[in-house]
Amino acid sequence: MSVSPAVSSPQFISAPALLSDWQGHRRLTRRVIEAFPEDKLFTFSLGSMRPFATMVSELIGIAEPMVRGIVTTEWKRLEEPPSTTKADLLRKWDDTTTALDQLWDQIPADRFQESMTAFGQYPGKVHELILYAIDNEIHHRGQGFVYLRALGIEPPAFYTRD
């Protein structure tokens, strides 16, 4: 971990506001999980891609372990097996939501501008690592929208974040 030069540039967004934005995204992603019929969540796919549940398990495997690593500087991957029911997937989703709120305030103020290597593999500024996790969620959720449309199900509105 190295410390970047002093931040003199204008702030784009503060750490609390970014968490709030992320949690808004997470509420929307939760609605997308809920919108899938139980069986389709684990089986439906297009273009030989993964089912949406598998993508969501990936997101769960990134979010909390990433932020925990940023707090503790110790990188541990999730040990739990992936969910096999919608209820269990939603439970893990909600556990992550709670954990993110608790971990966020423990991130030292300067850390967001520092460089770290996530999971011993992915180097970057801490804000880049976190944006990557959020962007990956938006990316796969957009794919979930296509799955829902192809199943004849109206997805929740993209701008709904409450």
Q: Which residues of 63-79 are buried (b: 16+ CB within 10 A; e: fewer)?
A: bbbbbbbbbeeebeeee
| Cα–Cα distance for residue pair 7/91, rounded to 1 Å | 39
**Residue 11 interacting with a copy of itself (CB under 8 A):** yes
**Tokens 């069986």 sit on residue:** 39
Q: To the nearest whole angstrom, how small is the minimum distance from the Cβ of residue 77 to a copy of itself?
A: 18
**Site size toward a copy of itself, by CB under 8 A:** 45
**DSSP 8-state code for residue 122:** E
Within 61-90, the residues that bind a copy of itself by CB under 8 A are none
Q: To the nearest whole angstrom, how small is the minimum distance from the Cβ of residue 153 to a copy of itself?
A: 9
26 to 19, 22, 56, 72: CA distances (angstroms): 10, 6, 11, 23
Within 15-54, the residues that bind a copy of itself by CB under 8 A are 15-18, 21, 25, 46-49
Q: Under the rule (CB under 8 A), what is the footprint of a copy of itself?
A: 7, 9-18, 21, 25, 46-49, 109-110, 112-113, 125, 127-128, 130-132, 135-136, 138-143, 145-152, 158-159
